[in-house]
Every structure is written in structure tokens, then in C-alpha cells.
Structure 1
């Protein structure tokens, strides 16, 4: 099974992914951002967003599906805002027989902006992340009502272990 952690930039996907890997026995993490960085070095990326590359989306499906073989859970922390890209990637995984549960991490806008401002590790991406907050919140709000196998989880006001525990509990419920 793949647990796809979606959410606005700064919503805590990476932190929750680490905690989720502790909470799920034998879980491993796969980050398609690494693939995006590699593709960006190998070819021009029109518009600067590697998600716009069809190769990135195809290879994400292939590599995430490969990582999920053998029955080990795979945690993928990656923002997917465009509905067509979510459908292509998550649907592609499902068509290959890989169960996928998308988890959207919700964070109120003021908290999200404060997290972005306080993130020294991604300081170079601060302006870009701020420019995408409104779009991310609009695109991802209510996603569980529109897309199957999707749950929304609040990721503010409590620690990552509590968020991970809620996600683990959601994996046993049928949406």
C-alpha cells in the first residue's frame, strides 16, 4: 500500500512521513522530489515545475509502484495540486494493482505561512511556497469529498505522532 501525503507546501508532509514510517512496521519512504531534481538536471523544465514533465509523472508511477512491491507500506510525501496529475499518478498506481490512500494534511493559512517563514532548511523556496499557498488551499480543500480513497487530517495543534496515529487508524477504514 502507498500512503500518499498531500498538502500545501509547509503543511508538514516530510515530518509526518518520518513519524508515519516509525508507526508502520517495515514502512519505507519514497520521495518523488528526488526524481524531479534529477530530471531537472537532465532536461529543460518549461515553467520550472518538474511535475509538468510527463516523464516525471510516468517515472513516479513506476518507481513508487516498484517500491510498494512485496507488501511493505510506502509513504510518499508529495504535494499534487493539479487534479489531472493526481489522477494520472494515483490512478496509474491503482491500475497497476497498488492500493493507494491519499492523506491530505490540513493546516490553517496563518499557521502555514508561519511555518514557511520559520523553515530555515527551505529558505530559498520561501517566496515560491508563499505564492502557492492560496492555490494549494483552494485545490486541496474538500478533496476527500471529491476523490475516492482520500482522507483529510488536521496537522496543527498536536504533534506528528498523534497525526501519524490518526493516519494509521484511517488505513483500516474503508472510505
Structure 2
């Protein structure tokens, strides 16, 4: 089983997954962004977004499936995927392989996302790179907010302005 926590940059995906993992320590945490970072060092994507690489999407599916199969434990995946075609490609492949995927979307207003991103340090010790990452995340806010209206069927929308504990309470029954 895979618990995929989706939402805009700054919506609280990693924070929620950390809390779920604290409550269910046997679960595996797989951040597909790390796969993107590996590929970025090998292949330069022309768009600036590694999700545009078909190889990223197939590698994410392969890694998630291998984790579920090899360890037989739930996988928690915090990852923004707002392109409906990419989401269908990834989740469809996982489900076609017989893996249960519970997809959650943290719904957070644009002004809250911007404030959270402004308050966050992503690259400590490198102010220039940190600001570049922050600007990129803020530039994605409109498409991430718009994605909330085109979520795949079965997605559970979560009010991302609620406390992490209450969000985890809502997700935990899916981890049973």
C-alpha cells in the first residue's frame, strides 16, 4: 500500500508524512523528489522540471513498487504531482501492478503557501540558491492551486490549514 501525500510546495506534505511515520514507524518513507535529484545530475531536462522526464515517472513507479514488494510495508510518499497526465501515469501504473494507492491532496490557499515558502529555509548556508528554490516554488503556486480542481477520482482532499495532528488522524485509518 502507498500513501501518497500531494499538494503545492509549502503545503505540509513532508510534515504530514513525518507525523504519519512517527505514528507508524514500520512504514517506509520514499520521497520521489530524491529520484529527481539523482536524474538531474545525470540528464538535464529542458523544462527545468524533472517530472517532465518520462524516466523520472517510470523510476518513481519502479522504486515504489519494489519497496512495497520487497518489504511488505506501507510506503509514505510526499510529492507534488499536479500534471493530471503525470498523476494518471504514475498512479495508474501503480494500481495496474496491483498496489493500493491512497492519494491525499493538501489543499492550501495561495497566500498561505507564499507565506510558508517565505518562512522556509531549503538550502542552509547558500542564500542565493535558497532564494532561487523559494522563487521556483512560489512560481508553481498557481498551477498547484489550480490542480485541486482536476484531481483524479478517489483523491481525498485535506484542509492543509488544519493542524498536522488532525490531518494525520484523518489519514491513519488508511494505514490500518
- Give the alignment's TM-score, normalised by structure 2: 0.89
Matched, 1:94 2:95: yes
C-alpha distance in structure 1 between counterparts of 2:147 and 2:57, whole Å:
19
Name the structure 2 match of 1:166.
170
Which string of whole-angstrom CA distances, capped at 9 and with x for unpartnered residues, describes residues 40-81 of structure 1? 111121111110111111110000111112431101000001
Name the structure 2 match of 1:66.
66
Q: How many aligned positions are there?
A: 168
Match of residue 131, structure 1, among 116, 132, 139: 139
Contact 2:6 2:78 in 1 (8 A): yes
C-alpha distance in structure 1 between counterparts of 2:150 and 2:53, whole Å:
27
C-alpha distance in structure 1 between counterparts of 2:134 and 2:72, whole Å:
37
Question: Structure 1: which 4+ aligned runs deviate by more than 3 Å?
Answer: none
C-alpha distance in structure 2 between counterparts of 1:151 and 1:50, whole Å:
25
Which string of whole-angstrom CA distances, capped at 9 and with x for unpartnered residues, describes residues 124-147 of structure 1? 31111111111110112362xxx2
SS at match of 1:48: coil
C-alpha distance in structure 2 between counterparts of 1:102 and 1:87, whole Å:
11
Q: Which aligned pairs between 1:1-175 and structure 2 lie closer than 5 A?
A: 1-69=1-69, 70-121=71-122, 123-124=130-131, 125-141=133-149, 143=151, 147-158=152-163, 160-169=164-173, 171=174
SS at match of 1:76: strand
Which string of whole-angstrom CA distances, capped at 9 and with x for unpartnered residues, describes residues 138-159 of structure 1? 112362xxx233101112142x
SS at match of 2:91: helix
- In structure 2, runs of 5+ residues without a counterpart are 124-129
C-alpha distance in structure 1 between counterparts of 2:72 and 2:141, whole Å:
35
Contact 1:23 1:165 in 2 (8 A): no
SS at match of 2:47: helix
- In structure 1, runs of 5+ residues without a counterpart are none
C-alpha distance in structure 2 between counterparts of 1:88 and 1:52, whole Å:
12
- Give the alignment's TM-score, normalised by structure 1: 0.90
C-alpha distance in structure 1 between counterparts of 2:141 and 2:29, whole Å:
25
